[in-house]
Each structure stands twice: as C-alpha cells, then as structure tokens.
Amino acid sequence: MPNNLYLSFYGCSSVSIQTDRARIICDPWFDTPAYEGTWVPKMNVSNWVNKIGDCDGIYVSHIHPDHYDSKSIFKYFKKYGLKKIFIPQFKDINNIDRNWLKKKMISDGIDPKLIISNKKNTHKLKDLNLIIIPRDFNSFSDIDSALVVYEKNSKNSVTNLNDFGFNEIQMKKIQNLIVK
C-alpha cells in the first residue's frame, strides 16, 4: 500500500510533513522572540519540543529569525539528537557565495556537516523526495525558498511556500516540478 503524506501545523511557519516512514520538520521556531522582541509566537510554547516529536530531518526556508532560530534548533537537538538540516543553495554571483543562511548557521555553532545543500537543490530523506526552490533573481538579497515534498509511490506532493513571495515565473516552475 502506498504511503500518504501527512501535514501537521505547529504555529507561525512550523509544520511537519511525513509518511509512515519519514518525517521532516519545516522552519522550527517557537519560543524565542524574533526581530528584537517585536515578533512573538502566539501559542502556548511550553514543552513544544515534546509536542512536535522526533523527525528525520529539518528544512529551513530562509534566514529570517521567525523561520531560522538556532535556539529552537539546539533545544530540538538536545531532546532528539542531531538532524540533517536541508537549506537552499543559491548560485554564486561574481564568485561570491550567497548562502547567507549556511554562513549564519555555522557562525551560530551548527556543525557544517549537518547542513545539507547542493546545486541541484534535490534531496532524498528515506521515502521523501525533497526539491528546494530558491527564490533567485540574481540579487545579493535573495534569501527565500520553497519546498516541494513528494512520495513517489503514492504520487502525492506537498508544497511549502512560507514567505516565498508569489511571482508568476517562479510559480510556473513550482507547478511544473509538481506535475513531473
């Protein structure tokens, strides 16, 4: 029997996507105020790590503190152990690496071996296939990404757009990937 995809919402941008065999948590941010305390999760965050449960990997869409929060990730690691963190890979401009998120994660103390990123932006997590789509307009300020998760046997997919910023060209690219 083919696996189905299940989606669970935890607040703000945090969701999990899973099958019977694999589970990925997206943008885990819960208990740390973002943007100098002006953005606070509107939910009971007590014991959130236990409420979310274990996963096989983490996806972080972009560097903004309501999507990437090193404190939340380290609390998660402390409870469930180290996990791979999947992030977008942007093309270099003028030989300058624009992967600001990876640089920030490393400066925050996350082991670079846990940060998974490649030029194709495709990954495998057990029976989940991950396609990360950078919102890339060849600007140094490009940071955001979308995630398409699909399970091959059931031909089901879920798209996580977060703060992606809708653009017709990008949306057609995402739609074409889903159809494939």
Instruction: Show pLDDT as tens, one digit a residue, over the chain (180 residues).
Output: 345 889 998 877 889 999 989 999 999 987 777 777 777 766 665 678 888 899 999 999 999 998 999 999 999 999 999 999 999 999 999 999 999 999 999 999 999 999 999 999 999 999 999 999 998 888 998 899 999 998 888 888 888 887 877 678 778 878 887 777
> Cα–Cα–Cα angle for 151, 155, 156, nearest 5°?
70
Cα torsion through 162, 163, 169, 170, rounded to 10: -40
The one-letter amino acid code at 36 reads E
Entry pTM: 0.91
